[in-house]
Amino acid sequence: MTIPYPVDRITLRRFLLHKQHLLKPKLNGTTDVSSVLQMLRRLECVQLDPVSVVERNQHLALAVRIPGYDPNLLDQLLSDGKVFEYFANAACVIPVEDFPIFEPIRDRILAQVEKPLKNLGPVVGAVLNRLASEGPLPSRAFKSENRVRGYWDNQMPKTKDSSLALNLLVDAGVIRVVHRERTERFFAMTEGSIPDDFVKEAKEIDEADAREALINKYLRAYRVFDQRDPRFGWQKMNATERRAEVDRRIQSDTVIPLDVVGIKRAYYMLAEDLDELKSFKDTAPIKGPVSFLAPLDNLLWRRERISDLFDFDYKWEIYTPKAKRKYGPYAMPILYGDQLIGRMDPSLDRKSGTLHVRLLQLEPCVKKTNHLKREMHEALERFAAFNQVKSIVIDQSDLN
């Protein structure tokens, strides 16, 4: 029986921040497409989200880790075929070399959408024919007066039948997004836009091998994980299956159970990371620049882990009814050194070039020092500059 490795919360969260490339991030510098691709490979993937209260999640997640990051760089990687978009933790941007191991997910979703695609009738064939002969094409290239119930239509059918066909075919992996011009997506057939070697490998890969590789990718992305996570391995697994996968890796000495002081939940880590974890034990307190984390940042994927290791409860309230919101629709956790110290709820007035901070609230235990105030002000200036606005208006702040 493997004895869990004892570790305190501070050591473990510093290790986690280090693996998430959030510990003492550099504030200045320049970057290029190769450095963005390198970061994506280190993180394994970054979550996509269309919400544009400020810059979109994928760009916020990369900007907080990469000095001088420009959203156009990620768009260029997509256009150059170096990354693809598909379902991992959710809809994510992923290095293209991982395309083959997602074949079981594509097969599963294709089976799920087969009936809805059939219900759309000849429109699906028309979409595929045009993409095969004319692609890449945006959704607006497909004219249709027929409206159907789409993904986000709660009551009346509002979605063009061709748009629903595009979304279903993307989910199934038959077509994919190959280019973005800010909010607009351009679609093409997957075969022909993914390197032939990766397409061939996807067709030939054994399902068990693909599932194993996908679980390993998940473990590298999370680094500190628990088997109760319903997204474990980014596959459909019940509790028994998840437990078996973890136990098998413990028996093969590739995963180590952890005994986190004061935490009841059982956590695990990759055995290869143990020496790095040890290097953070009894290190000096970490004071670093203030950073604002996107609501779907990789660090925040498992909310229970944030609560356990950071003593910080976080909920993204974008879909919470306005009357029930506590912090605001886009409240972003504030990272300071190795602690999550509060929330900042921003919005942009792009016409006036203004960043509105609707709420800047710190946790009750945080000392509001002059140094912290300066750090916060500098962080807000950096955030405003990244979002291409010049002025900042703070509506409500704990630092006043």
Task: Single out the residue of 140, 141, 163 nearest to residue 152, CA to CA.
Answer: 163
In the block, tokens 């394994």 appear at 44
Q: In this structure, are strands 391-394 and 184-189 parallel, antiparallel, or unpaired?
A: unpaired
Q: From the centroid of its chain, how far is CA 285?
A: 28
- DSSP character for 298? G
Structural domains of the chain ordered from first start: 299-394 (3.40.630)
Question: What pLDDT sits at residue 28?
Answer: 66
pLDDT score, position 29: 67
CA 273, 275, 277, 280 torsion-angle sign: negative
Q: What pLDDT is recorded for position 237?
A: 95
Cα 149 from Cα 172, distance rounded (Å): 18
pLDDT, tens digit only, all 400 positions of the chain? 689 999 999 999 999 999 999 997 666 667 899 999 999 999 999 999 999 999 999 999 999 999 999 999 999 999 999 999 999 999 999 999 999 999 999 999 999 999 999 999 999 999 999 999 998 999 999 998 888 877 777 777 778 899 999 999 999 999 999 999 988 999 999 999 999 999 999 999 999 999 999 999 999 999 999 999 999 999 999 999 999 999 999 999 999 999 999 999 999 999 999 999 999 998 888 888 999 999 999 999 999 999 999 999 999 999 999 999 999 999 999 999 999 999 999 999 999 999 999 999 999 999 999 999 999 999 999 999 999 999 999 999 988 7
Give the number of other CB atoms < 10 A from CB of residue 137.
19
Looking at residue 25, its pLDDT comes to 67
Check: pTM over 0.75? Answer yes or no. Answer: yes
